[in-house]
């Protein structure tokens, strides 16, 4: 019998005695709620100075384990989304955004998390943002060409299926809008547009030009996605299959479009209100799990694809809310605030309610952890960077990895408390750096920090520790050759 078959836990009969041995526990359902551009300090339970109430996510943290040192693979979204679904660092494939008109970010031979779970008997669904390629440009009409930066609505046959989206990469069901600020603007269900785009929109303040359905309403995306997620959970009731739901928000990413009744519910302006709305969305999904009897056998993971966007700087000076509370950096750059993100796991029977872990973990570790939990043996050439962090979840160990590698046009390595970054590029404004008490580093400067002594990464101590720099530079060079680094 395969490892998967063993994990399902069939009931065995003891022939002579006629006695039934209890079946192994059923496979847990899995729900990942994946925020878009939510900072470490946007979660109220992590930021005592927060101006944004997040009661549902705070409650989730109190019901499970909250990680203070959890990381996305990248500080931008497509790479992180690739990494969480493959269990490997994004830079092993590429470190840039994926255009929705272009091909899939996944190679044909790459095992994805939903493919793994589907092989194990799971029903799989992705609802929300994708940003990993749909392949719409493969459906170009005869005689037309596609400008991926400004695709024309008449150049694509929208009646054809998307050849490279979620349903081509392990998901049984998909509903979403691809990416909130990239065309085409319209909902996709499974592999087809629900309504074909018919108009061409010009570039707006926070969205790119391209095809759109008529009367597209940016503010209705999150309400519709939340409704679909709840409905999909409700449809799983009474079914024998365990399920995996990857609920990928388009919020609080721009365009920032909170709706009633969330307007003016925070003290951090429209962005804060949008986070409150996002928190409500999480609450709706958690309530659906509870109402349908799934809570006690469902692993819920909440995290974000990267840190907060650059608008956080102005928001901090205007409202006092710091989305990167306690950290230097933001979306796009290489400092901690760009990739240290909210990270919560509620696993009934495994995680101790209200527990907090300071262990270094990465979103790439989710795949190996779930594989081990369901008895799935990962091939040696899949999920290469993923480490099973169940010993952290059940508190039998305090750490399972010591090292992570960074890359977003800047390379860096974290090893224990040490962080070494090559040729840094500072994204922050001088006024913001001054407000948080950090000096600007020189463009292209190599920097070294010890996070135990300097969690804000204020002071470059590279000159004081040449042997540490030499060791970490060597580790980084090994990683760039595709060596795999975990504990020493």
Catalytic residue among 131, 246, 321, 339: 131
| Strand duo 243-248 + 29-35: pairing | parallel
Which residues fall within 8 angstroms of residue 135, CB to CB, at 6 or more apart? 102, 103, 104, 162, 163, 164, 165, 168
Backbone phi, psi, residue 464, to 5°: -85, -20
Question: How many Å apart are CA 335 and CA 452, to the nearest integer?
Answer: 15
Angle between helix axes 269-291 and 55-63 (nearest 10 degrees) is 50
Active site (annotated) includes residue 77: yes
Active site (annotated) includes residue 438: no
Catalytic residue among 77, 90, 246, 253: 77
Backbone phi, psi, residue 471, to 5°: -65, -45
Question: How many Å apart are CA 292 and CA 303, to the nearest integer?
Answer: 23
Q: Which active-site residues does the annotation give?
A: 77, 131
């Amino acid at each position: 019998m395969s490892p998967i078959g063993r994990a399902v836990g069939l009931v065995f009969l003891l022939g002579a005695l006629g006695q039934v041995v209890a079946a192994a526990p059923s496979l847990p359902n899995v729900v990942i709620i994946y925020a878009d551009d939510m900072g470490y300090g946007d979660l109220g339970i992590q930021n005592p100075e927060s101006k944004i109430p997040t009661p549902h996510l705070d409650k989730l943290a109190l019901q499970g384990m909250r990680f203070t040192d959890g990381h996305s693979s990248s500080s931008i979204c497509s790479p992180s989304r690739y990494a969480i679904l493959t269990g490997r660092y994004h830079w092993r494939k590429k470190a840039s955004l994926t255009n929705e008109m272009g091909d899939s970010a996944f190679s044909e031979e790459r095992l994805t998390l939903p493919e793994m779970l589907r092989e194990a008997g799971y029903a799989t669904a992705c609802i929300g943002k994708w940003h990993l390629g749909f392949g719409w440009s493969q459906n170009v009409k005869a005689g037309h060409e596609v400008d991926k930066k400004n695709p024309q609505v008449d150049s694509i046959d929208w009646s054809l299926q998307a050849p490279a989206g979620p349903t081509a990469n392990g998901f049984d069901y998909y509903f979403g809008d691809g990416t909130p600020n990239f065309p085409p603007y319209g909902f996709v269900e499974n592999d087809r547009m629900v309504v074909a785009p018919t108009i061409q929109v010009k570039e707006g303040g926070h969205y790119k030009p391209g095809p759109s359905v008529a009367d597209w309403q940016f503010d209705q995306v999150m309400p519709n996605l939340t409704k679909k997620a709840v409905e999909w959970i409700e449809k799983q009731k009474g079914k024998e299959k365990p399920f995996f739901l990857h609920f990928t928000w388009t919020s609080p990413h721009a365009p920032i479009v909170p709706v009633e009744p969330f307007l003016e519910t925070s003290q951090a302006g429209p962005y804060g209100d949008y986070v409150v709305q996002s928190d409500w969305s999480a609450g709706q999904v958690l309530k659906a799990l509870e109402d349908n009897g799934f809570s006690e056998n469902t692993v819920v993971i909440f995290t974000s694809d990267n840190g907060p966007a650059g608008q956080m700087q102005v928001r901090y000076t205007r409202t006092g809310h710091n989305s990167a509370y306690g950290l230097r950096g933001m979306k796009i750059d290489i400092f901690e605030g760009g990739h240290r993100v909210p990270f919560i796991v509620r696993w009934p029977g495994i995680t101790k309610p209200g527990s907090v872990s300071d262990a270094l973990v990465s979103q790439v570790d989710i795949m190996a952890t779930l594989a081990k939990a369901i008895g799935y043996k990962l091939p040696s050439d899949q999920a290469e960077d993923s480490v099973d962090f169940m010993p952290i979840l059940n508190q039998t160990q305090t750490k399972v990895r010591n090292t992570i590698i960074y890359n977003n046009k800047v390379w860096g390595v974290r090893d224990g408390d040490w962080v070494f970054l090559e040729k840094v590029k500072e994204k922050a404004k001088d006024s913001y750096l001054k407000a948080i008490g950090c000096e600007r580093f020189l463009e292209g400067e190599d920097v070294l920090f010890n996070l135990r002594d300097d969690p804000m990464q204020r002071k470059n101590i590279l000159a004081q520790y040449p042997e540490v720099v030499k060791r970490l530079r060597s580790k980084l060079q090994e990683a760039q050759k595709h060596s795999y680094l975990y504990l020493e």
